[in-house]
Structure 1
């Protein structure tokens, strides 16, 4: 049987609550309205991201790390509006009460009476252990994150806040991806479920309670990784699929990829493997994988986040080099990796 590509369909979905989405400048205005001179005087330190780098996964690492450090050291948080708007097209991104507006932030950079000691830290991947020590970002400091902050240990203490308030699907994305599951159950199980889209976590619980199916998310990155020798083999993917199929007899798999033609060929004989629609955005793909109970992921930060947000078991291919000096800086202990990890591009150095 050929693999199915599930199209989007319009459906009426019951909701307990509507979560409003802020748009561009109005979001900035909402932050500004909640802040005044009195609140500015209480800002002891600021953790900031003033530029954008990489794609969605890298930016999520930056925001999560900045949030974790701001929470840890009782600082406020500043993100450029461009990054806020990009992430809010996918997520609720509730960063209150830490987030400050551009006008508040600029008042500290342009007013000498409010001047702060400015420090920037450029990180490629590693966990900067000194930043989690007391007073690592003292009062009167503006700390800027630059580069690729890809160690989850900078925000591990607040991972539930990231999963429940920040990197949770916006209402519009949640409605869109729910169509995928509604169509599946209607065609394959003969009934049309009525999901209450109260929020991301509620919908995920409802999916897990449908005992006829265990959903496994698969992310396959290939385009730029083939030449870099980071791409996963067919054998890795089928071994991982076999593991879950034996563990969960009702396992069904959702595949997202930057190379859908490859995936269609690879899984053409698998009746329980489905590709996301071609019209899905990168944010749609991330959200639908985060709703799965378990994960199979290849290299890259996008796949990392799908596994991290989904929870459950996560099988990660060891061929991908994290770039960190120690594998435990990048891979949470519940990522299932059998064997050593290559440390850097085009090297044989491994992380045990």
Structure 2
């Protein structure tokens, strides 16, 4: 029997890459094909960087035969499973729906598990935090008003409404592409907040997933942090708006709690907090 291969193109940063790879792997497992990702050798979109730190368990060899057939997928394409193809297949698009791969979640959890070096680093730097019984990761994704016009800024009201769903005395763990903006604007909020700084994307993704619960942004990066969270009693809170238009029921897992969002003007002081070195500044 001749081996069949499947691969994918890459568009965007780590969060998008996780969706594309998960959909490709799921198709391979469903149809006894071999998934390989030679595109991870490219330098654009931090692909080679993520290959070594996130996707180090994946095949990256070039298929011995051409990938002639192509299946394209847009953001809101309604198909839940990629149609079977008798030939080698090359997937293009975003595949931003849990429907494509959730039936293989356990395999994905194993393949996307943090690198041992990442776990060692986190266990030393955040020992007390990782042993805290009640941690809630908060992701504040501010985006860029010029470059991300389709992705609205959620505003602090969403954060205020979300933290109300966690009674008692949780430890809120804040991640952001503009962490200093968060330090300033979280001052009036009630709660115990820790602000995470100085990590790379893989380290932040792992740390977010190791918190007990997640408040995510309209972000594929924190989507994956919540999806990779393996705590049985986890609560995931998400904004009921991802893009300025488009449904969310294919995007969010059914058990995740969606909070209504009222769009707010982009903060006038945001540019004063540009932090281009932040680890996941472009990880969606």
Within 2, Cα distance between the matches of 1:142 and 1:120?
Answer: 9
Per-residue deviation, 1:88? 3.7
Partner of 1:101: 61
> Under a length normalisation based on structure 2, what TM-score does the superposition of the two structures give?
0.79
Determine if contact 1:92/1:168 at 8 Å carries over to the other structure: no
Return the match for 1:158 from 86, 92, 104.
104
Q: Which runs of 5+ in 2 are unaligned?
A: 264-284
Return the match for 2:138 from 214, 218, 222.
218
Within 2, Cα distance between the matches of 1:87 and 1:162?
Answer: 16
Per-residue deviation, 1:137? 2.1
Determine if contact 1:315/1:335 at 8 Å carries over to the other structure: yes
Per-residue deviation, 1:299? 0.9
Residues 288 and 79 of structure 1, relative CA distance in 2, 3 Å threshold: same
Q: Which runs of 5+ in 1 are unaligned?
A: 1-40, 110-115, 186-206, 343-352
Within 1, Cα distance between the matches of 2:102 and 2:123?
Answer: 29
Within 2, Cα distance between the matches of 1:217 and 1:292?
Answer: 6
Determine if contact 2:70/2:89 at 8 Å carries over to the other structure: yes
Q: Deviations over 1:257-281 (max 9, x none)?
A: 101121111223666211112x211
Return the match for 1:179 from 118, 124, 128.
124
Return the match for 1:89 from 52, 74, 94.
52
Partner of 2:75: 125
Partner of 2:114: 169
| Equivalences, count | 252
Within 1, Cα distance between the matches of 2:180 and 2:209?
Answer: 23
Structure whose alpha-carbon radius of gyration is higher: 1
Return the match for 2:193 from 273, 296, 299.
273
> Under a length normalisation based on structure 1, what TM-score does the superposition of the two structures give?
0.64
Return the match for 2:205 from 259, 278, 286.
286
Partner SS state of residue 129, structure 1: coil
Partner SS state of residue 164, structure 2: helix
Superposed CA RMSD: 2.7
